[in-house]
Structure 1
Amino acid sequence: MFKRKRIYGLRTTVTIMVCGVITLVLLVLYIIFSNLIIPQKRQALEDKAITIARTIALIPLVAEGLNEGKSKDIQAYTAKITRRNDILFVVVTDMNSKRYSHPNPSLIGLPFEGGGLDRSLRGEESVSEGEGQLGKSLRAFVPVYNGRGQQVGVVVVGLSLERVRGIVRQNEWIIIVILLSGAVLGAVGASISARKIKKMIFGMEPSEISKLLEERSAMLQSIREGIIAVDDEARITLINLEAERLLKGAGLTGAALGQPISDYWPTLRLEAVLKSGEVKPDKEIELNGTTLVANSLPIWVSGTIAGAIVTFRDKTEITQLAQQLSGVSLYADALRAGAHEFMNKLHVIMGMTHMGLYDELQQYVSGTVINYQNEIGSITRQIKDPVMAGFLLGKLSRTREAGINLILAEDCYLPESAGPHITHELITIVGNLLDNAMDALNGMENKEIHLAFRYQQSRLICTVQDNGPGIPEPIRELMFTQGFSTKGENRGLGLYLVLRSVDKLNGRLEVLSEGEQGTTFIADVLYKVKGDDNE
């Protein structure tokens, strides 16, 4: 069995890493102090001793006393120097190593002890450690010269070696205390920094953040909408694959990340969203012949706008989806109407069976079958597009159910279209015009709708005429506006879709309406036929 690797939290990891770095830095500083600062302190003490010795050696009283063999004045002077400079001793000797001064007066006149005097007797300065009557000491030796330049003796200044070592140890402890204080402060700072970092990332661990980013990236790339996000300076920070595909299809290429959105996609005007903070839903944007439907909204962080995001789709794809849904709805309505009509006929058949009217039943069934076959035969002869033929059969059943007589012109003809998108657009036109005509006939008697198709030289003229009350002039000016309706809320989309589909088929729409004489819609569109060489 494999042992699972232990994973530390972010706070623990940051604290350990920072403390490790601080420890390494402090260790380096300790080595530097140990090899530079502490030796410098000892050197400073040595320099102090030799400086005092040089000063004493230059005093005429010392050289004269050595020449004359008098120690009294020398002893008095060196005793005063010893007290004022807080040193262990000052010893003056002649060239025979005889003492002329000493902190212990009884030793004056006796030979110098502890060694180290040989080099000074030869005229050299030196520093060494030695042990004499006063214990171990750090001693500085400086030659003494008379006025004629002749060496007449040596000055020895001694510092207590124990005191020197104590000062060095004191410096070492000061360094250690400073370094330990730095380590403690560093550890506390690391802990506080780790806590603050954890708070900034909402208490999440790095593994959780990584997983969240991977999930977000997968989600953004799988969405069927283009997504672009910008920062507060309107520079692109995110763009998913669908956005790149849509924009590439519209002619926008090149690297997008880091680019100002105004340079990459000028017509989007996302900077306005950053400034105003307003949401702009379902805005249609033309981009090199491609129509995109975009939703733009700001990104708020702690009450301020930190960026903006836009989602968009190709309007053609949305339209096709809407048309498919609309077609399904229309087919469902047709089936429902047919089922309702079929049930009515079954009720008639059942009643006539119970009453034993078999001859009348046979005549009724024969008439129904003949009418249905005539109806189907008429549509299939005139309407060659199977989808449109099925659609019109459903509409015939629905209008019959509503008490409306839908009349298909005897001389109309509709060849099969070159592609399903043409059929979809035509169904949108005819379906919405028929629905609009049925709504106009509500509450009227002798309801009639006339439908005609006339095809000639790649053009199709579709006419829908009703005998309703007509459309007033003020309404005719607004009825193609999206959302405008005289029938209540959540209406006003049908005629807008009709006009849009007519535009897509490079056509034009004409409306003829007079009061109490009905309304006629004439749509003249480009209609490509299946198998046409000019397609």
Structure 2
Amino acid sequence: MVTTIAIMVSAVVFSVLLVLYIIFINHILPQTRKALEGKALSIAHTVALTPLVSKGLEEGVSKDIQAYTGKIARRNDSLFVVVLDMKSIRYSHPDPALIGKPFVGGGQEFAMQGEDSISVGWGTMGKSLRAFVPVYNDKGHQVGVVVVGFSMKRVHDIIKKNEWTIILILLSGALLGTLGAIVLGKKIKKMMFGMEPSEISRLLEERSAMLQSAREGIIAIDAEARITLINVEAERLLTAAGITGKALESYIDDYWPALRLDKVLKSGDVKLDEEIDLNGISLLANSLPIRVGGEIVGAIVTFRDMTEITQLAAQLSGISVYADALRAGAHEYMNKLHVILGMTHMGMYDELQQYISGTVSNYQSEIGSITRAIKDPVMAGFLLGKLSRAREDGINLVLEEDSYLPESAQAEITHELITIAGNLLDNARDALSDMTSENKEIRLAFYYDEGRLICIVRDNGPGIPEPLQENIYTQGFSTKGENRGMGLHLVRRSVNKLNGHLQLLPGHDPGTVFVVNVPYLTKGDESR
């Protein structure tokens, strides 16, 4: 990047300097010659107006004229100052031997007719630039001509010197421009985190592709609360909620007032997992400020349809439950296999037969009691896992004999019920885990009646103190330590999603009783 910027800036500098050079060559340097021509004319006029010269020409005496013009020539560094009479006879010359002889080189014709003139010619002293000025006496009659000459070699030397001066100035400018371009390039590269323009372009394209392909809606605003970025998913969700129109460059308060993203911009506070209702669509949003160098320069919000998140959570919850059930069952039967292996090694075959028969009988009885009451296979498998886990913890989990749960018409309802029953059973198991009593019991019941399902979970644990009962559904609230307090919050959220009712029955001491009442559509009722 430094090289690119240096080349570009240097090219501009060189172009400007080239134009300046052309201007100097075509306009400035010719002025040098004109200046010498003007100087020659000035000297010639000065000599021509000197009385000593006009009087010497009238009297035909050249001695005083020679002495005077010699001084003038030396003081002005001219090649010669020659005075001619009207017959072009020299009255002065740097070479005294040529005084009295005719002027050679020509060019004096206009001056003999009373006009100033400039010309270049060859004479006894070589090629020279000459200025011719007529000389008049005090009566106004022309009596001669003054010729002042500068050597053309000197003229060329002065022009060449000025030309090199210009070239050196231009080269200095080019060098400074190049150094400035390099410094500028390094400064810009540092500002852009050391990336080249091609890298920045590629990064911008990748960023745009990532933002547009994200499953979350993304909206960013600048320091003035104007929308600077909105991706395809955000436009889709907002269009589904009835918010249309041009988003970019619009103020966020005008486009989506309920979001209140401008408050995040002003306060700098972060809002995580905020539930927003947008014209009937529930969104889960995360809003945070954008800081550059410690200063807030904008804000960004990411959001997603709560329905999608809930479905994903339900699937994950179901998978977790199934895995836990399999783990508990595997652990329990691994213990039984260890017993069988030990009895086999000891040759206790009669006792082994009785043990296996009892185990099979108990298992079939357990499965039979659950499958008779629980017609939903997913829920039945879930409860079998919970029974095994409870036995591991020394807890007696009992399904009430009069329980009945028909198969649901919707898999989503089953997932929500697993979340409800699973968290209530886990909370009951946690409550009993700290007890030293051997009589630890959890009783579970399902009752179905005309489209309503009642689920009751009862334990004989220490119960929930009355001062804490108002906070038990708050996310993160727990008496068990950090990173807890999610179970009852999830239970209440699932109950609310099913448009049901959750109640903690008072007056049960010791123990806790939760009652859940939700609408329940069975497969036989789904066509109604």
Q: TM-score range by the shorter chain?
A: 0.7 to 0.9
Matched residue, 2:369: 375
CA distance in 2, matches of 1:513, 1:226: 44
Quick one: structure 1 residues 126 and 173, their matched pair in 2 at CA, closer, same or farther if it must change by over 3 Å?
same
Among 101, 105, 109, the alignment partner of 1:110 is 101
Matched residue, 2:282: 290
Matched residue, 1:479: 472
Contact 1:282 1:293 in 2 (8 A): yes
Contact 1:295 1:311 in 2 (8 A): yes
Matched residue, 2:493: 500
Shift of 1:176: 2.0
Contact 1:409 1:450 in 2 (8 A): no
- Secondary structure of the residue that 1:112 maps to in structure 2? coil
Deviations 1:249-290 (A, max 9, x none): 555555656666566555555566666666554444444432
Residue 113 of structure 2 is aligned to residue 133 of structure 1: no
CA distance in 2, matches of 1:448, 1:331: 20
Larger deviation, residues 514-523 vs 495-504: 514-523
Shift of 1:116: 0.6
Larger deviation, residues 82-91 vs 130-139: 82-91
Quick one: structure 1 residues 414 and 52, their matched pair in 2 at CA, closer, same or farther if it must change by over 3 Å?
same
- Equivalent residue runs for 1:21-170 within 5 Å: 21-58=12-49, 66=57, 78-79=69-70, 81-104=72-95, 107-145=98-136, 151-170=142-161
Quick one: structure 1 residues 491 and 253, their matched pair in 2 at CA, closer, same or farther if it must change by over 3 Å?
same
Q: Scaled by the length of structure 2, what TM-score is found?
A: 0.80
Deviations 1:113-149 (A, max 9, x none): 2101123223433211123234332111233456776
Matched residue, 1:182: 173
Matched residue, 1:524: 517
Matched residue, 2:320: 329
CA distance in 1, matches of 2:390, 2:367: 18
- Equivalent residue runs for 1:364-443 within 5 Å: 364=358, 367-368=361-362, 371-372=365-366, 374-380=368-374, 383=375, 385-399=376-390, 402-408=394-400, 410=402, 412-417=404-409, 419-442=410-433, 443=435
CA distance in 2, matches of 1:408, 1:29: 102
Shift of 1:164: 1.8
CA distance in 1, matches of 2:40, 2:258: 85
Deviations 1:318-359 (A, max 9, x none): 333333222222222323444455567778888699353799
CA distance in 1, matches of 2:135, 2:507: 138
Shift of 1:496: 0.6
- Secondary structure of the residue that 2:350 maps to in structure 1? coil
Counterpart AA for 1:333: D
Counterpart AA for 2:283: T
- Secondary structure of the residue that 1:97 maps to in structure 2? coil
Counterpart AA for 1:44: A
Quick one: structure 1 residues 168 and 244, their matched pair in 2 at CA, closer, same or farther if it must change by over 3 Å?
same
Shift of 1:478: 0.9
Deviations 1:480-517 (A, max 9, x none): 11111223332211111111112222233222121426
Q: Scaled by the length of structure 1, what TM-score is found?
A: 0.80
Matched residue, 1:3: none
CA distance in 2, matches of 1:194, 1:329: 56
CA distance in 2, matches of 1:98, 1:176: 45
Among 503, 506, 516, the alignment partner of 1:513 is 506
- Secondary structure of the residue that 1:335 maps to in structure 2? helix
Residue 186 of structure 2 is aligned to residue 192 of structure 1: no
Quick one: structure 1 residues 501 and 13, their matched pair in 2 at CA, closer, same or farther if it must change by over 3 Å?
same
CA distance in 1, matches of 2:463, 2:121: 130
Counterpart AA for 1:142: V
CA distance in 1, matches of 2:353, 2:76: 150
Quick one: structure 1 residues 207 and 94, their matched pair in 2 at CA, closer, same or farther if it must change by over 3 Å?
same
Contact 1:467 1:519 in 2 (8 A): yes
Contact 2:373 2:403 in 1 (8 A): no
Contact 2:396 2:442 in 1 (8 A): yes
Contact 1:481 1:496 in 2 (8 A): yes
Contact 2:289 2:298 in 1 (8 A): no
Aligned residues: 520
Quick one: structure 1 residues 266 and 155, their matched pair in 2 at CA, closer, same or farther if it must change by over 3 Å?
farther
Root mean square deviation, CA, Å: 4.1
CA distance in 2, matches of 1:230, 1:265: 12
- Secondary structure of the residue that 2:318 maps to in structure 1? helix
Larger deviation, residues 420-429 vs 80-89: 80-89
- Secondary structure of the residue that 1:356 maps to in structure 2? helix
Contact 2:85 2:144 in 1 (8 A): yes
CA distance in 2, matches of 1:340, 1:231: 57
Shift of 1:455: 4.0
CA distance in 2, matches of 1:202, 1:373: 66
- Secondary structure of the residue that 2:132 maps to in structure 1? strand
- Secondary structure of the residue that 1:410 maps to in structure 2? coil
Counterpart AA for 1:473: E
- Secondary structure of the residue that 2:78 maps to in structure 1? coil
% identical equivalent positions: 61
Structure 1: tracts of 5 or more residues without a match: 1-9
CA distance in 2, matches of 1:156, 1:362: 143
Counterpart AA for 1:291: L
Counterpart AA for 1:290: S
CA distance in 1, matches of 2:183, 2:283: 53
Residue 448 of structure 2 is aligned to residue 454 of structure 1: yes
Deviations 1:12-51 (A, max 9, x none): 4444444444444333332221221111110111122223
Contact 2:289 2:296 in 1 (8 A): no
